[in-house]
Amino acid sequence: MDAIEEGCVIRAAMLHGIWVVMAALGLVAVSCGAPIAHWGFENGPGEWLSFADGDATAGISADRPAVGQKCARLASSADDEAMLVSPPLPLVEAGKPFDVELRFRANNQSGPLRIGVAPRQTDGPPKAETLWQRSAPADTKWHVLRLTAVAPHDPQRPLCLTITSSGGGDWSVDDVAVKAKPVAHVPGSVPPHEAMAQAAVYPEPLPEGWEPGGLLDARKRAVGDKAELIVDVAGLQISIPEHASCRRGFRTGIDTYCSNRGTADKVLEVIVQGPPDMRVPKWSVPMAAKKTLHLRVPVQRLLTGDCWVKMSFGVKGERAAAPLRLHAEASYPVLGCTWPEGQQPDAGELQRMGALGAAMQQLIIDPTDAEGVQRIADVVRAGSGAIECLLCPPGGVVDGLPAALLSPEASAGKPCWSPHTSPAVPVAEAKAALCRMATSLYKHDEAPNVFSFPYWLAWDAAEGSLRLPAEYPPAATDLRECLGRSGDDWGVQSLVLSLPPLPGAALLDAQVDGQREEGAASYWADFNRRTDLASMRAAARQAEAHLPFTVLVPDLAGSGDRRMDALKLGKAIVNAVCQGSTAVLPEVALLEAAADADPDPVSQAFTALAAELAGTTAVAALEPTDTMSSRPDAEVTYKLFLRGNEGIAVMWNNTCGPIEVAAGLRSQPVTVKLLRLAYYGDFVQEEFQPVFKLSAKAKELQQPGIYLRLDPLDITVLSMRLVDPTIGWLRGVFPANEFNVRLAPRKRGPQWWERLLF
């Protein structure tokens, strides 16, 4: 530390509880087009604050500055960090991208350097949100770092830049600048993706309360003890069942038989319309002359109950329609939302969120609000089951609530129950509330849906994983003793977990010396870990609590950029579902559309992911690679699911540059749907292939793969109906230039994809 100038060391010390801070004007205002803030440390620390304990120091040094005569230097010890905090960043609007440029140099080969943001405070080191982290390079040269980020903006708590050294690291920093960036979400910001299929087009939902008033253009024909509906259009005869059932979330195929009685080939267009929670893209299917085709036209509901569906069939300008009565039964997991304490929504508000795909909604019951409780009781009494309610009485007290809640007549409308407790409530008190609630419910209902009290998870930065508070072990939900249960019956159907607050600021890009760094960006690897419940699943198994999770997602401390908030929420939802969940419930405020966003990216992402993840079962990736796997720190993180005869793969790129990948197929797809939630260009991009075909690239390489470009930040989902839906339906996700399937010759003929090459 001899190179640090005596008298210029900004050493934070505690004197009678007051941090000693050196402050002088150091912010340089510049003209438009230049940095909006620039610090060179030539005149000392300026308004920068320093915080260092023990042997750690943060100050001004004359040892080989990058420019001028001086630079900042941070030397940490093994146990103590050194931090510099800038003056407030001159951000004028939340969610607008900005660049941070600086020069850095490692003076030893020890701990890392971290760059982040935090609200300004002078009474102690702020809790920074890390945007970028770097271990010491092998040289001691100066390097240039450029970060692009978005962050929230609160004039009452302005953000500052933080530079931190830890683990014994000794770093020099110089020539720090902040620059404004143009808005990024414009078409042409990234090269267009090669189209895999035609764009998915969704019809308008049917009007509320729609009924066919007859058979529309169909006629009824008896088939044994059942009936089918017949539609004639342009020489085609089409038959569908009169009634059908499906499971919530499943893309159930409606058996549809189509006969082309003419001598000319035709193209049949199929349009399925239903209530707002139904999502089915339009179909176009070739019909050969003199042939009969058996189609399984998919229908999908995100809510349960009965509804009317209008199935329209058209050839060129001629069209005919038939009604279908559809019954949807419950399946899990589902997406939903949580309503804040003190807000008792009415049926219309519940249905409004249900139309977005919020099939389960958590409500904190206020027993003193008789009118609000009665509104909830009326919803449960309706028995439609369209919205499932997770009711949370304070302290688990349910006595005195309406009988419609405690003894619902309709099993489909039976609510779920979880005691409302705060993070400050001791575990013994929370368990007592749970036992009190469960005991009371069993007096009214022999099989109530009881969920645990909430587990308030904490983020362990040292371990890089989520953890339970020490006083909240999984065994705390064991109700066998207080309810006289034994064996595998724990008395609860789901463990309720609440994620800790998630960071608001977000990294868009990072480059060192003009080059993007290899591997996953530290920010996104860290964000994945903050929402990865693998450690919670391991803890539950250790306690022999083989129960699904109900995951509460807090407000994301919004970045001000609704697209970024949507993508972060989407990744949190996927990480929660893949660990086995009953429901994933973000706060309703997060789903409410922003005043200036139409359509709103957060609600769009929520609805799109509800359609892809509801009712799924997570499966393991059988062929992970060093760079592409389900790990949170992989260059490409992907999660695999099965849902009936569907295989679903969700993937995202954790690096700062685009990656060409191949999704290697093992099972043969029948139909393929691509969903891309993109930070740049159009936010929701969907393509649909009614009849699967290998792409030109797959044919050229003669490989059974779907070739895609994964851009940073985006979430990409492949959903496909499979001929053989098995656990190993997907070989994995591979670098496009490395995917290569070579099988020994078979005596019984070619593989399925070899038949599709020509």
List, for residues 728-758, the tens digit of each pLDDT value: 999 999 999 999 988 766 656 678 877 777 6
Instruction: Supply the Cα-derived Rg of the chain in whole angstroms.
Output: 29
d(CA 346, CA 264): 55
pLDDT of residue 617: 96
CB-based contacts of 587, cutoff 8 Å, min separation 6: 337, 338, 340, 553, 554, 555
Backbone angles phi, psi at 175, to 5 degrees: 55, 60
Burial class (CB in 10 A: 0-12, 13-18, 19+), 746: exposed
Q: Are 335 and 584 in contact (CB under 8 A)?
A: yes
d(CA 624, CA 732): 6
Backbone angles phi, psi at 673, to 5 degrees: -125, 130
Determine if residue 507 is left, alpha or beta; phi over 0 gives left, psi from -120 to 50 gives alpha, anything else beta: beta
Backbone angles phi, psi at 445, to 5 degrees: -145, 125
pLDDT of residue 411: 54
Burial class (CB in 10 A: 0-12, 13-18, 19+), 487: exposed
Q: Are 731 and 624 in contact (CB under 8 A)?
A: no
User: Which helix (H) or strand (E) segment is 495 a member of?
Assistant: strand 494-498
Angle of CA points 544, 548, 550, to nearest 5°: 130
pTM summary value = 0.91
d(CA 70, CA 61): 6
User: Which helix (H) or strand (E) segment is 253 a member of?
Assistant: strand 252-260
pLDDT of residue 608: 96
Backbone angles phi, psi at 603, to 5 degrees: -70, -35
Number of neighbours of residue 752 by Cβ within 10 angstroms: 15
Residue type, 522: S
Number of neighbours of residue 743 by Cβ within 10 angstroms: 8
Which residue stretches of the chain have pLDDT < 70? 1-34, 92, 183-184, 186-188, 381-385, 409-413, 471-490, 557, 593-597, 744-749, 758
d(CA 439, CA 445): 10
* Residues facing residue 47 across a β-bridge: none
Sign of CA pseudo-dihedral 394, 398, 403, 405:
positive
SS3 326: strand
Sign of CA pseudo-dihedral 183, 186, 189, 195:
positive
In the structure encoding, which two tokens stand for residue 61, read together?
């040094």
